Amino acid sequence: MDYSIAIATLKRTDSTLASLIEQVGECRLAQVQQSGDVLACIARSIIYQQLSGKAASTIYQRFLQLYPDQPFPTAINILETPDDVLRSAGISRSKAVYLKDLAQQVLNGLPTIAELTQMEDEAIIQTLLPIKGVGRWTVQMLLIFRLHRWDVLPVDDLGIRAGIRRTYQLPDLPTKSQVQQLGQPWQPYRTIAAWYLWRSLEQP
């Protein structure tokens, strides 16, 4: 994946972001791209919602261990798993409801990854929002990490807001509208900017 034009454009349009890009180095977004179908990708995002990465990863691994015979459970597997079994893996009551709703919607005919690939970002968001527990952020993670869309700025993401606060030396976390405004000049490469803002939190 060649990010050179995107990075050159971002550096030219935002000198503060340019300094961060120099500090972090090459963009390794391609190395963290996910595989899997719509069920696997959205289920993972649901489990990861509102948790630290480490806690989410532990719960996600326990969830996968409930289905030892396959890399990822099918929609029917999830629907047939008793709630208390899901809870034993650390999944909250509400997330168990969300996972089952997702599984049911997959059986009802959610678009496949191949079909989503043909759609515009906003159309994908509107298609997937009716799933319980799925907000814009969840779909944006799918857009970034599975569908390789380059112009997504998750304004609800705490890591992005913390990254902006640190990089731009703001006194407080920026509001969603401030993130939106700051990100305007980064189009059409807002995903790449977002990746660097996440990485900013790892810098000394």
Residue 49 confidence (pLDDT): 85
Residue 51 confidence (pLDDT): 82
Q: What is the per-residue pLDDT across 163-202, written as a single tens digit (0 to 9) for each?
A: 999 999 999 999 999 999 999 999 999 999 999 999 999 9
Q: Taking all residues of the chain, what is their mean pLDDT, rounded to a whole number?
A: 95
Residues 6+ apart with CB under 8 A from 10: 17, 18, 21, 186, 189, 192, 193, 196
Task: Tell me the catalytic residues.
Answer: 157
Helices (H), the chain: 4-13, 15-24, 38-48, 53-65, 75-80, 83-88, 93-108, 113-117, 121-128, 136-145, 158-167, 176-183, 190-200
For each of the domains in the chain, give its residue range(s) and CATH number, in order of start. 4-32+152-200 (1.10.1670.40), 38-145 (1.10.340.30)
Tokens found for residue 86: 């899901």
Confidence band for 52, pLDDT divided at 50, 70 and 90: confident
> 3-class DSSP state for residue 158?
helix
Q: What is the per-residue pLDDT across 91-137, written as a single tens digit (0 to 9) for each?
A: 999 999 999 999 999 999 999 999 999 999 999 999 999 999 999 99
- CA nearest neighbour of 79 among 104, 112, 57, 114: 104
Write the DSSP assignment of 56-88 as a string of letters: HHHHHHHHHHTSTTSSS--HHHHHHS-HHHHHH
Q: How many residues does the chain have?
A: 204
Q: What is the per-residue pLDDT across 63-82, written as a single tens digit (0 to 9) for each?
A: 999 999 999 999 999 999 99
CA distance 139 to 137: 6
